[in-house]
Structure formats: C-alpha cells, structure tokens
Chain A
C-alpha cells in the first residue's frame, strides 16, 4: 500500500510520534492513509491506542512503519 503521507519520526521519543500523527492527519482526505515511521518501542502500542481514542483506523505495523487510515 502506498500511503498518502509519510511522517519520519525515527529517533523521536514518545509521545512525539503520536503528536506528529495528530497534528498532520488532517493533511490527508478522510479514507487516506498516513504512515508513521517510528522506532520508539512505545509507538507500536500508542499509535493503535490513539486510533481507538480518536476513532481512526489502525491498519497495522511492519517493522518501524505504522499505518493509520483517517476515518473522521
């Protein structure tokens, strides 16, 4: 899948990757996909949790790439 927007958050500590995601998800249309590149161990937990709290779709994680679909 080709994301509509890729955020390079490698090297950032939590909660910065989630903050970047929250700041920039509105740059893609509803239904669009944001890929967050994050290697902080908390990201693989906190990105899906953020999606649940903010009613977005968590698509999955591969390595350091976390894909999120904008739903609202």
Chain B
C-alpha cells in the first residue's frame, strides 16, 4: 500500500532532526533519542502496552522471527513444542522450520475450516499436549482476510499456561488490537508506514530470550543502530491510521462486500473464499476455475489493476499458497484484491465491470469455455 501522507512528512522532518545516533551523548543524539522515545510511546499507546515493552526491529518478518524463536528460547525449560495455526504468515512458518531443525523442536500446526478460521477447541486440544512452549495465532489472515478467534484462543492459552504470540500485521492501524497476548508483532509498511520497520511487543513477565547476540540497543532485544527517520514515520502513520481506522473500514468494507457479491454473480465457476463477514475490511480473494493465475494477473495489470495471487504458477516455489491449501479451496486462477486509502469506488466499479470479460477471454484462449 502507498505511504500515508503523514509518514512522508514525519520522515522528512526526522531526516533533519534525527540523523544522529540515539545511543550517543552529544546534543544531537539526545534529540534523536527523544524522537525514538516519542515513537515508542506512540506505538505503545496504540497496542495497549508500556513503552519499555516495545522494540523496533528490521521489518515485520524479523519481528515474527524474534517473537517465535525468542518466545521458544525463553520457555526452553517448559518444553519445545510450538503450536500455531496452519495459515500463519510464512515468516512464522519459516521460524517454525528453524525451530524444528534443532535437536528437540516440534511444531504442531492447527488446521482451519473452509473459511480459513481455526477452531478454538482444536487449538485448545493442541495446547493440552505435554511440553508446549509457545502458541501463535495471527489476528487476521493476510491472504483471505478471515479474522481469527484471538480472544477465545488467548483464554485457552491462559488456562493452559502457554504464552500466546499474535501476529497483528494485518490489523494494526486497521482494526482494534486484540488482548490476551504475551507477544505481538507488526509491520509498518502494512499500515502505511515505510518498509524496513518491524515492531515486537513483549509483555512484561513474558519469558523471552533474544535469538540474536544482544547489544545495548532496544534493551538487548534487537541489535544495531536503528533507522530512526523510518521509525518516526512508522509511529506517526500508525497513530494516523489507527485514528482513521473506523472511518476507513466503514468506507472499504462495503466495497469488499460489493466485490464478493458481484464476482460471484458475474464470473462463472468462481470460488470467492474467506469469511464473508468476520474479515478484514480491505481484502478479498477469489479463484477462477481453469484460469492460469499468472495470465490473469498480467491481464489485470495491463488494464491498470495491481493485484496479487496465491496460485502456484505465481510463486517462486511453484507450490500453491499454504493458506488456500489449508482451507481446501481452489488455488489456481487466484486473485487477491487489497483496497487501500487511495482506492476509489470508481476504480472498484471499473474492476467489476472489466473482470468478467477478462476471465472469459482467458478461458476462450485456453479453450476451456463451457467445461
């Protein structure tokens, strides 16, 4: 999504005022340190945490790696089992792979229903196994938009005495922040901030050990000098996006409803996936039978529509999206539409008007019309 205008202003201002290293003691450094403290306080307020619980790191994926590997390392004495939903972001799954490559590490994925939602009772069953060190559940899914039952799963985690990590990348600045977590992460570029800023929040009292060698920065939670102008821009845009979230959701969510209804009605043999109601306000995914996902993306791009896909032919691994696979829904011909603050109703209408003919043309070219 494009940068929030506030992010640009804050970035430019911080380049002038915050160029110095906040960890030094000269005047400019103290000024930079004040900017960093202020940015941390803003993020803390939005997520409902204390400033000293907030860590800035390299990006959202690194934040997820820190949460998973640090949460598991901190609970090594309790066990080595990592319970997570099957539809977590690949950064979480990659951290799980790293964990299971170790001598005793185990990861237990909890399956989802056709809408992409975990069942709280299935999650609770997985928590009941011996040696569970950490559980992870995203606030909402990045590919299909389905909101996860975080509050219920958090209660199950509390009952089992297992800390819960919530990947809130899709909902920070867009929806209320869930409660009941011990670890939470986000990614500035997902809320309209710059790329290259991740946020890790570790609740006081949570056992967490950094998977990196520690230095004096970020309370030993993430090493090296940080990108202060980007952090300042991230915090300013989070505050703005969080304040505008209700109005933005009220504008975008009906447009998503419209896309879901019209695509299902006007494109034959289409699977509109994800939960139709309990979902992100800005995202919808559908799959068109017999259509090559890459060809569809190119055809849409040629008409000025920038969309994504979970189809295998659009991925570097040639494997279908693990999210669509876990849901058991069609993975080829897949299109993911994300709306943002710059998306207008007219653009959505043009997309809906042009899509049926684009799909029909691709099917005609492939000789699959009427199958």
Contacts and interface: CB of A to CB of B under 8 A. Distances in A.
Interface of A: 13-15, 18-19, 22-23, 40-42, 45-46, 48-50, 52-53
Q: Is the interface of A mostly helix, strand, loop or mixed?
A: helix
A45 B331 contact: yes
Nearest to B287: A49
Given A22-B290, A49-B328, A50-B289, A14 B320 contact: yes
B330 A53 contact: yes
B61 interface: no
B371 interface: yes
B368 interface: yes
B330 A46 contact: yes
Nearest to A26: B371
A58 B146 CA distance: 26
A15 B319 contact: no
Contacts of A46: 320, 330-332
11 contacts: A13-B313, A14-B320, A14-B331, A15-B332, A18-B290, A19-B366, A41-B319, A45-B324, A49-B271, A49-B330, A53-B289
A40 B325 CA distance: 13
Contacts of B91: none
B318 interface: yes
A42 B319 contact: yes
B292 interface: yes
Interface string B303-334: 00000000111000011100011001111110
B252 to A, nearest CB: 28
Given A53-B269, A53-B289, A41 B312 contact: yes
Given A22-B290, A22-B371, A42-B319, A50 B312 contact: no
B21 to A, nearest CB: 48
Contact of A49 (B313, B319, B331): B331
Contact of B368 (A19, A45, A50): A19
Contacts of B333: 15
Interface string B329-365: 1111100000000000000000000000000000000
**The 4 A-B residue pairs with the shortest CB-CB distance in the complex, in nearest-first order:** A15-B332, A49-B330, A22-B371, A42-B320
Given A45-B331, A53-B271, A53-B289, A23 B312 contact: no
A54 to B, nearest CB: 8
A26 to B, nearest CB: 10
Given A14-B331, A49-B328, 19 more contacts: A14-B320, A15-B289, A15-B291, A15-B292, A18-B289, A19-B290, A22-B368, A23-B368, A23-B371, A41-B312, A41-B318, A41-B319, A42-B320, A42-B332, A45-B320, A45-B328, A45-B331, A46-B332, A53-B269
Most A CB atoms within 10 A — which of B271, B311, B312, B333? Answer: B312
